[in-house]
């Protein structure tokens, strides 16, 4: 009996130790721990999922692929990503159709430096399963133009260029928390046009999410967490155009102690992936 008690105690201790060494924990908006399975089950009923990532976070990228695979078992999917700009849609479509190879995609599209490790698995999953993939972001040069000169600079571009962004004029609310916080973080040095550039990106991503969303399908969109945290950004533009849309959100955060969600992260999203700050980054 003593041996059984000893072994049971040892196994319990090892179990507790293993729990402490988890690389991540999922929380709901109120800070309650949630299982991966329950998160996926709750997300299944949504029309759109905004998966907010840290661009260099290995856990977030792994979970993006796993969530996508598991949701495909329950729903017809369309995918979309901030990491692809709308004027690269043709190149992306050619790759998905098998018309061009990866090397050609590399030369035809402006791929992020971490594309091979972090986004290629998602694109290749779409290719293998014949899933449409939307390049939702505005070409960065237009966001740069707005950051310097405001929305009025967009009046000078061609009709063709305007097809790569949300319809003009861009709706804009300077009082949205995310845009106000951006100015605060810059200490006023970025000027009032910096959040307008962010708004152009958010509005454009929302526009193409709605354009590619199909009746009966679910669109999973991968974006930096800042674009959808606190139900702001992309979410605001989606709701403005389609108030009845069922939107699910995920955010990624990093903490030294992942076993209790810090107050500053409460309410960031429907589900918050809290990653150990010692986790290796992809770049």
Parse the chain into domains and list their residue ranges. 24-276
Pairing of strands 217-224, 76-85: parallel
Q: Which residues contact 120 (CB under 8 A, 6 or more apart)?
A: 102
Nearest to 139 by CA among 156, 163, 171: 163
Residues in the chain with pLDDT values less than 70: 1-20, 188-190
- Output 95-103 pairs: Cβ under 8 A, ≥24 positions apart: 95/123, 95/127, 96/123, 96/126, 96/127, 96/132, 96/133, 98/127
SS3 percent helix, strand, coil of the chain, rounded to 5, is: 50, 20, 35
CA count, 13 A, side-chain hemisphere, 85: 17
Q: Does domain 24-276 have CATH number 3.40.50.11550?
A: yes
Is residue 60 within 8 A of residue 68, CB to CB? The reply is no
Region label for 31, one of left (φ > 0), alpha (ψ between -120 and 50) or beta (otherwise): left
Give the per-residue pLDDT at 155: 95
**Does the pTM of the predicted model rise above 0.75?**
yes
pLDDT for position 10: 40
Residue 22 phi, psi (nearest 5): -65, 140
**What CA dihedral angle connects 132, 116, 67 and 29, to 10 degrees?**
-110
Look at residue 174 and give its three-state secondary structure. coil
Give the pair of three-digit tokens for residue 150.
């405001």
Q: What is the pLDDT of residue 239?
A: 97
């Amino acid at each position: 009996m003593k041996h059984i008690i000893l072994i049971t105690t040892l196994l319990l201790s090892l179990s507790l130790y293993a729990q402490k060494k988890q690389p991540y924990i999922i929380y709901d908006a109120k800070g309650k721990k949630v299982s991966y399975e329950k998160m996926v089950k709750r997300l299944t009923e949504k029309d759109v999922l905004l998966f907010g990532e840290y661009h260099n976070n290995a856990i977030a990228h792994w979970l993006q692929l796993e969530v996508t695979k598991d949701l495909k078992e329950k729903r017809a999917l369309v995918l979309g990503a901030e990491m692809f700009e709308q004027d690269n849609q043709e190149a992306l479509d050619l790759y998905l159709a098998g018309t061009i190879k990866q090397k050609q995609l590399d030369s035809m599209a402006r791929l992020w430096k971490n594309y091979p490790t972090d986004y290629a698995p998602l694109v290749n999953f779409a290719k293998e399963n014949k899933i449409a993939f939307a390049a939702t972001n505005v070409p960065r040069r237009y966001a740069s133009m707005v950051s310097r000169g405001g929305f009025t600079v967009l009046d000078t571009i061609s009709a063709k260029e305007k097809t790569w962004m949300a319809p003009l004029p861009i709706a804009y609310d300077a009082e949205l928390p995310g845009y106000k916080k951006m100015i605060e973080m810059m200490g006023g040095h970025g000027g009032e046009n910096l959040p307008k550039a962010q708004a152009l990106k958010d509005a454009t991503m929302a526009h193409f999410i709605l354009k590619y969303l199909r009746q009966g399908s679910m669109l999973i969109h991968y974006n930096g967490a800042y674009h959808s945290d606190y139900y702001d950004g992309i979410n605001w533009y989606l709701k403005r155009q389609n108030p009845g849309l069922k939107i699910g959100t995920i955010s990624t955060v990093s903490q030294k102690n992942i076993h209790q969600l810090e107050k500053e992260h409460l309410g960031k999203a429907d589900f918050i992936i809290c990653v150990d700050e010692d986790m290796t980054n992809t770049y």
